[in-house]
Amino acid sequence: MKKIAVYGKGGIGKSTTVSNVSAAMAAIGLTVLQIGCDPKADSTRNLTGGKNIPTVLDTLRLNGDAELNDLVVKSTSGVLCVESGGPIPGVGCAGRGIITAFEKLAELDAYTVYQPDVVLYDVLGDVVCGGFAMPIRGGYADEVCIVTSGEMMSLYAASNIAQAVRNFGKRGYASLRGLILNAKNIENENEIVDKAAAEIEASVLYRLPRDPVVQQAEALGKTVVEAFPDSDMTAHYKALAGHLLG
């Protein structure tokens, strides 16, 4: 079982990237479990027809307990989808929601029941503390990838995430696999990201171009891989999936 945590600044296109990679992996027959670790609970929307699925926290709040089929939704592309969810706005800690979700999935033996080939954690990367660091420090992920663009704030977040991964890595936890450039078409973007990658001693794993087909697919509530299987962008997501599997 390959376990990859994908981090990145909010709004960088991380969830879009993860869901398309999940769909690409599922398309070659792999069992893929995608776990959304963002209080917005929108990681898997493009896999589930543009609709939010019930979150672990909401289900536990409403019912007091849950079974796996209450928490795991299989998408039309075959991806197993889970959203950790978050607390009631203004009350509680969002990171705690991730911890609760992970503990519940472990209690219900989710990994044994579904036997996924790949687990992808989609984690908000503006902060790397508490529950948001759980995929790194809890032994859940083996590798960490960071989605970024050439914009200053996304690179700043990438630097912080990389430092956190290295700090935890000294204790035998997940290692940093590298950066994924999700292009915004800013001037000299490749050069800017290459320089930042060198400074944080990371490689650039893949460069995703900016393509309007991504927004077209999202308007349909689908991944690019499912909505436009013959597009150039689908080929890019499949190539990225191959890199991650390799």
Q: Directed axis angle between helix 189-199 and helix 152-169, to 10°?
A: 30
Domain count, the chain: 1
Model-level pTM greater than 0.75?
A: yes
Write down the pLDDT at residue 92: 63
Closest by Cα among 124, 143, 138 to 42: 124
Residue 150 has a CB neighbour count (10 Å cut-off) of 22
Which of 40, 70, 74, 194 is the catalytic position?
40
The Cα 244–Cα 21 span in angstroms is 9
Residue 230 annotated among the catalytic residues of the structure: no
Which of 14, 104, 222, 238 is the catalytic position?
14
Closest by Cα among 38, 44, 41 to 18: 44
Q: Retrieve residue 79's tokens.
A: 């991806």
The Cα 8–Cα 90 span in angstroms is 23
Residue 170 annotated among the catalytic residues of the structure: no
Query: What is the Rg, in whole angstroms, of the alpha carbon atoms belonging to the chain?
Result: 17
Q: What is the domain-level CATH number for residue 125?
A: 3.40.50.300
In tens digits, the chain (246 residues) has pLDDT values of 999 999 999 899 999 999 999 999 999 999 999 999 988 889 999 999 999 999 999 999 899 999 999 999 999 999 999 999 876 666 667 677 788 889 999 999 999 999 999 999 999 877 666 777 888 887 889 999 999 999 999 999 999 999 988 888 777 788 999 999 999 999 999 999 999 999 999 999 999 999 999 999 999 999 999 999 999 999 999 999 999 998
Residue 184 annotated among the catalytic residues of the structure: no
Write down the pLDDT at residue 89: 65
- Name the strand (E) or helix (H) holding 73: strand 73-74
Q: What's the domain range around 23?
A: 2-245
Which of 3, 9, 222, 238 is the catalytic position?
9
Which of 42, 117, 126, 142 is the catalytic position?
126
Residue 126 annotated among the catalytic residues of the structure: yes
